[in-house]
Amino acid sequence: MKLKSRLMVEVMGYSMALVLFFGCAKEQQSQEKPRPNVLFIAIDDLNDWVGVLGGHPQIQTPNIDRLAARGVLFANAHTQAPLCNPSRASILTGYRPSTTGIYNLSPHFRDVEMTRDAVTLPQYFHQYGYRTLSNGKIFHTLGNSEEKRTDFEEWGPIGGGTAGHPTEKLVPNTHMGNHPLIDWGVYPEVGDSVRNDYKVATWAEQKLEELAVQEDGRPFFMAVGFWLPHVPLYATKKWFDLYPEHAGIHLPEAPEDDRIDIPDFSWYLHWYLPEVRLSWLKENNQWERFVRAYMATISFTDAQVGRVLDALDKQGLSDNTIVVLWSDHGFHLGEKGITGKNTLWERATHVPLIFAGPEIPKGEVVNRPAELLDIYPTLVEWAGLPTKDGLEGISLAPQLRDSNAPRKRPAITTHNPGNNSVRTERWRYIRYADGSEELYDHDEDPHEHLNLASNPAYAEVKTELAAWLTTEDAPHAPGSKHRNLEKIDGVWHWEGNPINWDDWVK
């Protein structure tokens, strides 16, 4: 047979084989249970002040609590970075800050060589036929070019923010720059519907209605990102009324001498920030008002979560949708003398993490340590997609199936190179870039008031925990700025300026 004729026969045979293969595959797929949808709910700056986590005795979060009741709550979940950009880049790319060098509010992960072409979580689902859409704050920023906005097929109109500020700040001029975002109180009076987070929930309601009747049969991956309780802490009066001043607001545990046994280097991680110190709150009679505003914005956001969950139920999508709810990091409200994030303590690293959906047990609580880095491989496995190579997280599927299943490693948080914490079920160990240390026993000291690092009785515990840390974290990625700490010519610099103890703001 001539070569050309033989090739034609081989091609025809191959084509018939493909037809038979895809025909069988299609028939098999039609007989199998369809792949689950994913509803990916992100909340900004929400610490463990959630009813089911017990972080604050007065907080009201009925909707997040009901999601936990129909799923699995990871009660010991921790962020990989106590700052928005590095945390979200880590969650969505599957890499640690100590691997990528993304520690600060800049750069965008698509501007970093290692992550420039990374297949993000929604992109991976898209590769396997998912319709992907997003609105609100999912990544730290949307990216300043179309080349960077490739992670979702459809982007909603809101990238974050609160949708406006009052003409004048509601609180007195704050120290450390009087930043416009450092504000809190009742605003606006015109109602919730003008706030961006409300609009994001409305968008989600409308999209779920559309998705319920789409005819192409594609599962969806829908990301819904809420800004609050990120500053400024604005909410309408109805949410403040949940926490009346006359009833008294429970304030966080913040002893005056709480940092007496803590290394001075700990101040370097939040050397000079827009967020106020506890001393300013006390001097200006704002501590209780600040805490109340944080609680009001949490309850407002919880209500928006409830609207989205209600829409999922209303459209008949709950039975085949994996819901995952998470916060990018925690937030201090006076503990250790500060507000904001940018620390390696429990209040900044501990976050809500809940999974609910098909075949996920209801009302279970997992106390094993978990990392936000684990979300990516967990969703991939639970949705039945092929394993994604190279991810640094560990699937939480074993703990979803059995809340007592063992966990291979603790949770590790990093804030600028060389500053890391290790969290197990009992211990938190912190080692700073200058070698100084902290150690807390959460069985005896859940608020981390007593640093045991200098006690020789715990030397073995420290050694075991320190073994989980890398020998050297990646240096800052090019373009790193905003809250960056680095050593230049032997001198520690904060945001490019030498640290001088004479400028210390306590």
What is the C-alpha end-to-end distance of the chain, expressed in Å?
89
DSSP structure class, residue 487: E
Spell out a b/e string for 96-122, using b for 16 or more CB atoms within 10 Å of the CB, else e. Answer: bbbbbbbbbbbbbbbbbeebeebebbb
HEC string for 373-396: HHHHHHHHHHCCCCCCCCCCCCCC
Q: Which fold has domain 35-503?
A: Alkaline Phosphatase, subunit A (3.40.720)
Q: Is the dihedral of CA 236, 237, 239, 244 positive or negative?
A: positive
Annotated catalytic residue: which of 78, 84, 126, 476? 84
| Model confidence, pTM | 0.92
Residue 24 among the catalytic residues:
no
| Helix (H) or strand (E) segment spanning residue 212 | helix 196-213
Q: What Rg value do the Cα atoms of the chain yield, rounded? A: 24
Tens-place pLDDT, residues 97-145: 999 999 999 999 999 999 999 999 999 999 999 999 999 999 987 655 5
Q: Closest by alpha carbon to 493, among 477, 476, 506? A: 476
* pLDDT attached to residue 159: 80
Which residues have C-beta within 8 Å of that of residue 456, sequence separation ≥ 6?
A: none
* pLDDT attached to residue 3: 30
Annotated catalytic residue: which of 56, 78, 108, 140? 140
* pLDDT attached to residue 137: 94
| Sites in the chain below the pLDDT cut of 70 | 1-32, 142-148
Three-state DSSP state, 84:
helix
Distance CA 476, CA 102 (A): 6
Distance CA 174, CA 223 (A): 35
Residue 140 among the catalytic residues:
yes
* pLDDT attached to residue 143: 56
Please give the structure tokens belonging to residue 99: 């691997």
Is the CB of residue 40 less than 8 Å from the CB of residue 324? Answer: yes
Paired with 224 in beta bridges are 41, 135
Spell out a b/e string for 302-331, using b for 16 or more CB atoms within 10 Å of the CB, else e. Answer: bbbbbbbbebbeebebbeebbbbbbbbbbb
Please give the structure tokens belonging to residue 304: 């928006």
HSE toward the beta carbon, residue 387, CA cutoff 13 A: 8
* pLDDT attached to residue 9: 36
